Amino acid sequence: MRLVVLTGSGVSAESGVSTFRDKDGVWARHDWREVATPEGFAADPEHVHEFYNARGRRLATVLPNPAHEALVRLESGLAAKGGAFLLVTQNVDDLHERAGSKSLLHMHGELLRARCEACGASRPWTDDLSTATACLGCASRGLMRPDVVWFGETPVFMEEIAAAISRADLFVSIGTSGSVYPAAGFVNEARLRHIPCVELNLEPSENAHCFTDARYGKATEIVPRWVDETLRG
């Protein structure tokens, strides 16, 4: 089996990481134009740094949950059977890697990395960022930013993801509202190849009609159950 799994913030919700569009989600409390666009960063970089610094610090207080852990079991179980597995996440948290996922691409970047807009270098970064932070490579100040993808920017690893979908025989989407492209369009690419597409989410997503199978409920319950079924089958 060659499997591509896409995850969104719903997979981390029960770890205590906020989703975006739920009623008390991140975008109900913050204006995405201010904190998640290049224009917002140019207008008020300190405000943007405060937003991401707080989210980065919060990661130290949360742990992977049984849904993250089940995806690690799926990866190793498929490897043992000679299958292929790629986990693509829209999440900028590090819970998949802390759970033990190996074949993982962060298409919207990572909270625990920083990038210099002067020299382009990206490196692991756990300290707070500010407009006074100097790049460890080129020493420029004021041009360090969280290494996350903002609205209006192109997600990363798109070629690798397209290649994996073009070889997959199963596509699974977990804990995402299906409202942000290009991730929301992966199911359409998979459907063009006539492969089964499964949605695992709390409730039907915006593109639920594109999937051939769906399970609804909490990720910590439905993901481990679905992984067990998949590895048995």
Active site residues: 108
Contact code string over 188-207 relative to ligand OAD, x by CB under 6 A? -------------xxx-x--
For ligand OAD, the closer of residues 10 and 56 by Cβ is: 10
Residue 32 Cβ, how far from ligand OAD at the closest point, in Å? Answer: 6
Show the 3-state SS of 112-172.
EEEEECCCCCEEECCCCCCCCCECCCCCCECCEEEEECCCCCCCCCHHHHHHHHHHCCEEE
For ligand OAD, the closer of residues 21 and 191 by Cβ is: 21
Residue 7 Cβ, how far from ligand OAD at the closest point, in Å? Answer: 8
Contact code string over 95-134 relative to ligand OAD, x by CB under 6 A? -------------x--------------------------
Contact stretch for ligand OAD (CB under 6 A) within 19-27, 95-103, 139-147, 156-164: 19-27
Does 34 bind ligand OAD (CB under 6 A)? Our answer is: no
SS3 at position 210: helix
For ligand OAD, the closer of residues 46 and 206 by Cβ is: 206
Tokens, residue 199? 């949605």
Dihedral angle computed from the Cα positions of residues 28, 30, 32 and 35, in that order, rounded to the nearest 10 degrees = -160
Contact stretch for ligand OAD (CB under 6 A) within 10-18, 47-55, 122-130, 163-171: 10-18
For ligand OAD, the closer of residues 7 and 135 by Cβ is: 7
Contact code string over 63-92 relative to ligand OAD, x by CB under 6 A? ---------------------------x--
C-beta of residue 134 within 8 angstroms of C-beta of residue 119: no
Q: How many residues does the chain have?
A: 233
Which amino acid type is present at position 223? V
Contact code string over 36-65 relative to ligand OAD, x by CB under 6 A? x-----------------------------
Q: List Cβ neighbours of 223 (8 Å cut-off, separation of 6 or more).
A: 11, 66, 67, 70, 71, 174, 200
- Strands 144-148 vs 122-124: parallel, antiparallel or unpaired: unpaired
Tokens, residue 193? 């190849």
For residues 102 and 132, what is the distance between their CA atoms, to the nearest angstrom? 34
Residues lying near ligand OAD in the complex (CB under 6 A) are found at: 8-10, 13-14, 19-22, 25, 36, 90, 108, 149, 151, 175-177, 179-180, 201-203, 205, 218-219
